[in-house]
Structure 1
Amino acid sequence: MKSFAERLSHALETELYKLSLQQVPECKRLQDAIGLCKKALAILKKYISGYFFESLDDEIEFFKYIKPKFYSKYIYYISIYNFHIKKPTGSEEILKAYISIQLADLKRFFDMNQVFYQYYRSNSNYSDSFYFTRGNFEIYTEIDDFQGDEGFSTSHDYKVSKLLANEQFQEFLLTKCKEANGDCAIKVDSPVLWTGNQTDLVELLYALVESGSFNNGNVQMKSVILYFQNILQVDLKYYYHKYTDITNRKKERTVFLDRLKTSLTKKMDSKLELDKPELKRIQFS
C-alpha cells in the first residue's frame, strides 16, 4: 500500500509540475489541477476497494496519513480557485480587506477544531481506532465533515484533510497579503508546534547558532531559545542543562543531527528510486 501511494503521489506531483509550466490562464490551470487531484483520489479509491488491510494499524495509517495527503491537495486547489473567482477588483486596500475576511474564516475554523488539531499535530493516537477506522457510525453524528462513501471514509479523515489544506491555504493568503504591500487585519497564529524531544530541539538550535545561521552569527543563544520557545510553544527554560547532557554523551553526541541527516538522505534516495525509468509508473492518461 505504501509503495503504491508513493508512486501515485509522485505521478500526481509530476503532472502538477507539468501543469505549472503551461502558459494558460490561472483559473484554467487551477481547474486542471483540481481535475488531476480528483483523478488521483479516484485511482486511490479503486486500489483500496480491492486491498485488504493487514491490521488495524494498517487501516489507521491509510486514513490518518495517506488519504489526507491526496484529499488535502484537492481541497487546497478548490480553495485557491474560489479565491480567484470571487476576488474583487479594485485597489490594494480592497484586496487586503478581502484577504482579511478569508483569514478570519480560517482562524474560526482552527479555533473550532483546536482540540482535534492539537490531537493530530501532537501525533496522539489514543482515539485513532475511532477516528480513522471505518464503521464507527455513532461518531458521524458528532461532526459536520463526514464525507460520503463508507468504504473509503472514516469519521475524521476528511477533517484531517481540511486541516492540512487550510494550513496551506493560510500560507497562500499571507503571501498574497505581502504582495499587496501590507499586513492584513487578521493575524493568524502559527499552527506549527514542536512535538519532538526538547533535547533534540536544543541540539538543533545550538548547531544553528554555532554555524552562524542567525543574524550572520551575531546573536546570543538565550535570544534564540526565547524566540523559538515562543513560536513553537515549547518550554526550554532548562536548555543549558540539556546542552550539558548532550556534551556529556559517551558515544555519539550529535544524535539528533545525525538522525536528521539519515532521514533526509533516505528521502532523497526514495525520490531517486521513484525516478528510475525502469520502475513501473502510474499513468494519468
Structure 2
Amino acid sequence: MKTEFKKIKTELEETLLSDPDVASSAETIKQAATLIEDALSSIRIDVVKNGFEDEPDEIAFFKSYKPELLSLKIELIYRYNLKLNEPVGTRETVIKYYEAEIKSIQSFFRMNSFHYQYFKNNLTHMDAVYFVRNAGPLALPTDDINDVDPKFSTPMSLLFAKFKGYESVQQFSLQQISSTGNSSSGTEPKEAKENMRWTGDSINIVELAYGVWLTGQLNNGNASLNQIVKWLEINLHVNIGVVQRRFIEIERRKRLSPTKYIDQMRDTIRQKIDRGNS
C-alpha cells in the first residue's frame, strides 16, 4: 500500500504541480480534481477490500497518505479562486489582498489551534482516536465538517488535509506578495530586500532539492518536492524546469558521480575542517 500510494502521489505531483498554469482555469481545475478523485477511488477500493496490516498501518494512511492527496485538491482549488478574485489595481492593493488571505488562513489555524498544534508538532498520543476508523466521537470536536464515509475516513483526516493544503496556499500567497513587490509597510529590513541569486549550474539545485526532500528537512518532512523546488526558484531567482526531468539527467551520469555537487560540498567542508580555523 505504501509503495503504491507514493507512486500515485508522485505521478499526480508531476502532472499537477510541475505545471505553473494548472490552477489558471476552471477546466484545468476540473481535470486536476478528477485525477485526484480517481486516485482516491482506486485507493479506497483497495482499502475496503484488503484493509490494513495493523493499526499503525491504518494510522499512517489516514494521518499522512490520504491527507496528502486531499491537500493537493484543496490547494489547487484555493489557488484558482485566489487568482480569479485577485483585484485589478496598484501593487499595494494586490499585496493587501494576499496579506488579508494569509490572515484568514491563520485565523483558521487559530480556530483549530489544539488540533493544529497536534499536526505541527507531529504528536502521536491521540492517533488511535484521530486516525482509526470507527474510533468514536472526539473529546474535543472540530468546527469543521469531516468525511462521512465510515470505510474510508477518520475524525481528523480531512482536517489534516486542510492544514497541509492551507499551508501550501499560505506559501503561495507569500510568493505572490514577493513577486508583486516589497511589503507595502516599507519596514522590511535591508537584508530582506537584497537579491540573492543562484549563479551556479541549475542541475546542482536539483541535487540540493532532492537531498532536502528525501531527508525530510522542511516542515517535519511534509514539504513536497515541488514545494521545495518552487521555494528555491523564487528565492534564488533560478529556473529549474520540471524537476523530475532534470533528475533523469543526474541518473544518466556515467563518468561523473550522480551526486557530483553534494560530493563537492562534502569535500570542501572536510578541507575546511582539516585546515582548522584559518
Instruction: Compute the displacement of 1:35 (Å).
Output: 2.9
Asked if 1:97 corresponds to 2:110, the answer is no
Which residue of structure 1 lines up, in the alignment, with residue 146 of structure 2? 146
Contact 1:68 1:158 in 2 (8 A): yes
Tell me the SS of whatever aligns to 1:37: helix
Q: Classify 1:63/1:184 alpha carbon distance in 2 versus 1 (closer, same or farther; 3 Å).
A: farther
Superposed, 1:47-196 pairs within 5 Å as 47-139=46-138, 142-143=141-142, 144-183=144-183
Contact 1:31 1:81 in 2 (8 A): no
What are the ranges of 5 or more consecutive residues in structure 2 without an aligned counterpart? 186-210, 216-224, 226-243, 252-278
Tell me the SS of whatever aligns to 1:26: coil
Structure-2 separation of matches of 1:123 and 1:54:
22
Supply the AA of the counterpart residue of 2:24. E
Stretches of 4+ aligned residues off by more than 6 angstroms: none
Q: Classify 1:17/1:109 alpha carbon distance in 2 versus 1 (closer, same or farther; 3 Å).
A: closer
RMSD of aligned residue pairs (Cα, Å):
3.2
Structure-1 separation of matches of 2:124 and 2:62:
13
Instruction: Compute the displacement of 1:51 (Å).
Output: 2.1
Which residue of structure 2 lines up, in the alignment, with residue 248 of structure 1? none
Tell me the SS of whatever aligns to 2:138: helix
What are the ranges of 5 or more consecutive residues in structure 1 without an aligned counterpart? 186-259, 276-285
Tell me which moved more, 148-157 or 135-144: 135-144
Tell me the SS of whatever aligns to 1:124: coil
Which residue of structure 1 lines up, in the alignment, with residue 5 of structure 2? 5
Tell me the SS of whatever aligns to 1:73: helix
Instruction: Compute the displacement of 1:161 (Å).
Output: 0.6
TM-score (ref. length: structure 1): 0.60
Identity level (%)? 27
Structure-2 separation of matches of 1:90 and 1:47:
50
Contact 1:60 1:128 in 2 (8 A): yes
Instruction: Compute the displacement of 1:183 (Å).
Output: 1.8
Contact 1:140 1:155 in 2 (8 A): no
Contact 2:23 2:79 in 1 (8 A): no
Instruction: Compute the displacement of 1:53 (Å).
Output: 1.4
Structure-1 separation of matches of 2:177 and 2:117:
27
Q: Classify 1:21/1:98 alpha carbon distance in 2 versus 1 (closer, same or farther; 3 Å).
A: closer
Instruction: Compute the displacement of 1:124 (Å).
Output: 1.5
Instruction: Compute the displacement of 1:141 (Å).
Output: 8.3
Structure-1 separation of matches of 2:63 and 2:122:
10
Instruction: Compute the displacement of 1:69 (Å).
Output: 1.1
Structure-1 separation of matches of 2:105 and 2:17:
27
Instruction: Compute the displacement of 1:165 (Å).
Output: 0.7
Which residue of structure 1 lines up, in the alignment, with residue 16 of structure 2? 16
Supply the AA of the counterpart residue of 1:122. N
Structure-1 separation of matches of 2:184 and 2:128:
40
Supply the AA of the counterpart residue of 2:173. L
Which string of whole-angstrom CA distances, capped at 9 and with x for unpartnered residues, describes residues 107-157 of structure 1?
A: 101222222222222221110000001113422982223122121110001
Contact 1:15 1:36 in 2 (8 A): no
Which residue of structure 2 lines up, in the alignment, with residue 225 of structure 1? none
Aligned length: 194
Structure-1 separation of matches of 2:139 and 2:66:
18
TM-score (ref. length: structure 2): 0.61
Supply the AA of the counterpart residue of 1:107. Q
Supply the AA of the counterpart residue of 1:70. L
Q: Classify 1:137/1:4 alpha carbon distance in 2 versus 1 (closer, same or farther; 3 Å).
A: same
Supply the AA of the counterpart residue of 1:152. F
Supply the AA of the counterpart residue of 2:118. Y
Contact 1:106 1:170 in 2 (8 A): yes
Which string of whole-angstrom CA distances, capped at 9 and with x for unpartnered residues, describes residues 31-58 of structure 1?
A: 4333322322222222222122121111
Supply the AA of the counterpart residue of 1:121. K
Which residue of structure 2 lines up, in the alignment, with residue 36 of structure 1? 35
Supply the AA of the counterpart residue of 2:158. Y
Contact 1:147 1:153 in 2 (8 A): yes
